[in-house]
Structure 1
């Protein structure tokens, strides 16, 4: 007996949506960044975005903005829960950093 496809998609994810995407790339003295912003969709924990047609890099001293397409791969319930749980555990690692007293010489 097999599970319905929509139940498997809810648990395991892998629903996809194709959306428009703005890609902002800057490689200057002041900033080095690349941002991909999917339009018309709200991203949640565990979701992934695959950008299609954006350049891999730009020459030094330039800042450009592109319009392209992106595929949003939705996380299922189980993947979303795991992502949120593991993020909490990773956050607690920050509490340990820098709070030990210095030892006297």
Structure 2
């Protein structure tokens, strides 16, 4: 892990899958190798397709750049994620009946 704001980066091959059909609307990026993406890290896929026609599914190979977060950026991302999650605790789920 990089320390005190120093960021490191590396390139890695990846697979991009995009589908826009009546059954599914999704886009996935799978990095080659066993690369763990941690809070605050950034992944940029180079020359990725951005749109496809309805009814299509494409799978392409591309290169991605992974930029590792520094210590402070990683801690900030974890804290922000925790605070955003706690906002969900304020929402209650009920069956709609008032007793």
TM range, normalised to the smaller chain? Answer: 0.7 to 0.9
Residue deviations 1:20-53 (CA, integer Å, cap 9, x gap):
0110100000111111122222111111100001
Root-mean-square deviation (CA, aligned residues, Å) is 1.8
Aligned mate of 1:23, from 6, 16, 40: 16
Aligned mate of 1:48, from 31, 36, 42: 42
1:91 equivalent to 2:85? Answer yes
Q: What CA distance in whole angstroms lies between the structure 1 residues aligned with 2:16 and 2:50?
A: 11
Structure 1 unaligned blocks of 5 or more: 1-8
Structure 1 runs of 4+ off > 3 angstroms?
A: none
Structure 2 unaligned blocks of 5 or more: none
Residue deviations 1:40-68 (CA, integer Å, cap 9, x gap):
22111111100001111111101111110
Shift of 1:85: 1.1
TM-score under structure 1 length normalisation? 0.81
Alignment of 1:1-105 (within 5 A): 10-40=3-33, 41-98=35-92
Q: Is the radius of gyration larger for structure 1 or structure 2?
A: 1
More helix by share: 1
Higher relative contact order (CA 8 A, sep 6+): 2
Aligned residue pairs total 94
